[in-house]
């Protein structure tokens, strides 16, 4: 609040909107208390930051219940269940970034004045927070720690042992794992590890890579320039984004155990309730070795794209956000042996830090409703109900 009072009036509409959307109270002490109130936090934060629209003005009606929320101009925004694509910015992360978007705007590479020193100090603090999150005695071959489509965890430790024994560098893409599952780069023999801010409730446009010093991994930069980041990535480091990434890692460390337990309960609630009411639903990927917040289900005899269109009031995807624009079945599902028809009927549900029980229950109800409706229109479903084995049919092409 002291920083806010120091900003010259009139304050910009954008800044005012950011400030109004921060859940009150906003002091560090209050935020600490806020973290200890998980139930109320889960109920309030998504409505302001994830599935919901901007906080309504006084006297303005807000959409009731756990369904889609109004955006203030009559339109409805869907519930957000696609956290593997990107996560909403955690308000604690935004709180850490705001000073470096307003008052402390110096270039961290300007070392001749206080503005640069302030930003450089913030950068170094962010580095320490990252190192603490990584426990960085770490090692590279290139493997995703947690798959972004089906949530399966790879045996990264075993892979690291094999690579180290054969003196092969080992890299892991931990974008979907860091802050969600424990990562120890020494135990796992990881040489290189990359992460992304927007997958852990931090800002978009910033990431980090861990590079082992002993045994040393030498990297060749892709671009030349001012030599920042030890010559590996030239260009001015964006201080607000780096601060946000550091804060996101710090919050993730503090919340990891609680988040994992709560997300596991919500995932079990979603899967159990859907499968209880809808037959012929397949969970894709290993059921044991997985991150619970990423759920990929195939609904037999239903076209996945049709189900997505029907569930327009819930933000979901049929796979990776990088490839979901393609009508081809997921290459990940095909690689694990899923039949093409089941691959085409898959939907990915993403449950995250701010997902509520009400949102899960609403998604379950809508999913059950539309799967049953779409199956009633499917001739394949009718044939199965009549006892016909579809695999025994010889289909002809015209």
Catalytic residues: 322
Q: Residue written as tokens 């049919």?
A: 393
Q: Residue 164 and residue 171: Cα distance in Å, rounded? A: 12
Task: Find the angle CA(293)-CA(137)-CA(169) to the nearest 5 degrees.
Answer: 85
Phi, psi values for residue 6, rounded to 5°:
-80, -15
Distance between alpha carbon 292 and the CA centroid of its chain, in Å? 12
Q: Residue 240 and residue 123: Cα distance in Å, rounded? A: 9
Tokens describing residue 187: 């135990």
What DSSP element (H or E) covers 194?
strand 192-196
10 preceded by a cis bond (ω within 30 of 0): yes
Q: Residue 272 and residue 28: Cα distance in Å, rounded? A: 39
Count CB neighbours of 170 within 10 A.
26
What DSSP element (H or E) covers 177?
none
Nearest to 304 by CA among 277, 328, 276: 328
Phi, psi values for residue 348, rounded to 5°:
-100, 125
Q: Residue 318 and residue 344: Cα distance in Å, rounded? A: 8
Q: Residue 93 and residue 49: Cα distance in Å, rounded? A: 12
CA distances from 392 to 122, 377, 385 (A): 66, 22, 15
Contact 96, 247 (CB under 8 A): yes
Q: What is the CA radius of gyration of the chain?
A: 23
Nearest to 133 by CA among 254, 239, 36, 241: 254
Residue 165 C-beta-side C-alpha neighbours within 13 Å = 6
């Amino acid at each position: 609040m002291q920083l806010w009072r120091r900003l010259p009036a009139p304050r910009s509409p954008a800044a005012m909107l950011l400030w109004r959307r921060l859940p009150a109270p906003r002091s560090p002490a209050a935020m600490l208390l806020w973290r200890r109130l998980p139930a109320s936090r889960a109920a309030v934060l998504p409505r302001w930051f994830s599935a919901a629209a901007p906080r309504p003005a006084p006297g303005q009606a807000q959409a009731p219940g756990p369904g889609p929320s109004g955006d203030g101009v009559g339109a409805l925004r869907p519930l957000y269940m696609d956290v593997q694509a990107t996560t909403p910015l955690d308000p604690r992360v935004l709180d850490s970034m705001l000073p470096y978007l307003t008052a402390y705007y110096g270039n961290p590479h300007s070392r001749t004045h206080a503005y640069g020193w302030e930003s450089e100090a913030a950068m170094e603090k962010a580095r320490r927070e990252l190192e603490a999150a990584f426990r960085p005695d770490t090692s590279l071959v290139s493997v995703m720690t947690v798959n972004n489509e089906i949530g399966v965890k790879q045996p990264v430790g075993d892979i690291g042992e094999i690579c180290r024994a054969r003196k092969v560098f080992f890299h892991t893409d931990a974008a979907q794992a860091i802050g969600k599952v424990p990562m120890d780069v020494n135990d796992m023999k990881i040489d290189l590890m990359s992460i992304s801010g927007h997958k852990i409730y931090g800002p978009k446009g910033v990431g980090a890579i861990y590079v082992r010093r002993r045994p040393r991994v030498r990297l060749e930069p892709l671009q030349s320039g001012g030599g920042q980041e030890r010559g590996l990535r030239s260009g001015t480091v964006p201080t607000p984004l780096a601060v946000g990434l550091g804060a996101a890692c710090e919050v993730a460390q503090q919340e990891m155990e609680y988040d994992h337990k709560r997300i596991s309960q919500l995932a079990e609630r979603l899967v159990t309730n859907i499968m209880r009411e809808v037959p012929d639903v397949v969970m894709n990927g290993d059921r044991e070795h997985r991150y619970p917040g990423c759920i990929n289900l195939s609904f037999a005899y239903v076209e996945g794209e049709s189900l997505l269109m029907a569930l327009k009031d819930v933000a979901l995807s049929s796979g990776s956000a990088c490839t979901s624009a393609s009508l081809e079945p997921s290459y990940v599902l095909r690689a694990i042996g899923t039949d093409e028809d089941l691959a085409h009927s898959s939907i990915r549900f993403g449950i995250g830090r701010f997902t509520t029980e009400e949102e899960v229950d609403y998604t379950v109800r809508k999913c059950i409703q539309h799967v049953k409706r779409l199956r009633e229109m499917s001739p394949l479903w009718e044939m199965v109900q009549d006892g016909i084995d579809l695999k025994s049919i010889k289909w002809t092409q015209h």
